[in-house]
Amino acid sequence: MKFKTFYKLFYKHRFKKASAVLKLYLYIVVPVRFLLNTFFFPKKIDLDLLGLTSANLYNKNLNFLFEYFNSDKGEFFVDQYVQPIKKNYKKIPAHGYSKFYEKFFFDKKKKNCNILEIGSFYGNACASLFFYFKSSKIFSGDIYPDLFRYKSKRINNFFIDTSSEDSIKKKLLNEEISFDIIIEDASHLLKDQIISLFLLFKKLNSGGLFITEELDFPDTRKDMNINNERPTLKNILLSVVEQKEFNSKYVSENDKRYFLENYASIEIFKGNINEIALIKKK
């Protein structure tokens, strides 16, 4: 983890609200806190090597793998959103999406897939998918790629800012590659959820799956929809299912038409805490 990333994750929001005196205090404290945390930064794990020493991981189900690598997609996990020095290793309830993933991913398990996760954070879900899809390539995008804790010949980790259409186009739309599975687990902001789906749906192969995690955030959390805009992505998907018209300033007519002509099914499920949308392409 770079110092810049450490600051943005744990202290940037404090600086915005701080008085002049508190800012001076933080200027002194933050570098010290960063140095203390460096002793708790985990070493990068070579998944190719781990596959040789722990081959049994290739035979595990998704929930086992999510919990083994501490992804919040499983039933339980250790809070990974605190400073490393504060990690207490106590397991808490997670999103519980694994049962939905197992159902939709099983028939692709043995295929040579291209899998993209946007919002990979530490890469714990990517490590899980690496062992579940043992013949597939994993593409991992995040605004903080330096957080990624794993390496492999089958994993490509890169920077992407899903709040920027230009970044999405530069990193993904302008590339030749297409995907069998796209998992959107980034900022969960209203705009970002919408543009990620409608820009990237054309990069999905026939029969592929597009997943949006925490679908309900813009409807239930003020910080994910500051201006209380409508429609949210959930509103849009429900309109499509009900064959009703929708309009969003974040969706071009061409992208809207392409989606409506090429989606096969839309299903929304409630996990332990939040909702997830699974969209299949024709």
The reply to whether omega before 42 is within 30° of 0 (cis) is no
Q: What average pLDDT does the segment 59-74 reach?
A: 97
Which element (helix H / strand E) includes 11?
Answer: none
Q: Does the reported pTM lie above 0.75?
A: yes
Place of tokens 């519980």: 96
Q: What average pLDDT does the segment 117-128 reach?
A: 97
Q: What average pLDDT does the segment 123-143 reach?
A: 98
- Looking at every residue in the chain, the average pLDDT score rounds to 96
Tokens standing for 211?
């997943």
Decide: residue 153, CB within 10 A, 0-12 exposed, 13-18 middle, 19+ buried.
Answer: exposed
Which is it for strands 204-213 and 275-281: parallel, antiparallel or unpaired?
A: antiparallel
Q: Answer whether residue 174 shows pLDDT above 90.
A: no
Q: Which CATH number fits domain 45-281: 3.40.50.150, 3.30.360.10, 3.30.470.10, 3.30.70.2740?
A: 3.40.50.150
Q: Answer whether residue 88 shows pLDDT above 90.
A: no
> By three-state DSSP, how is residue 192 classified?
helix
Over residues 204-238, the pLDDT tens digits come to 999 999 999 999 999 999 999 999 999 999 999 99
pLDDT at 34: 96
Domain boundary assignment for the chain: 3-38, 45-281
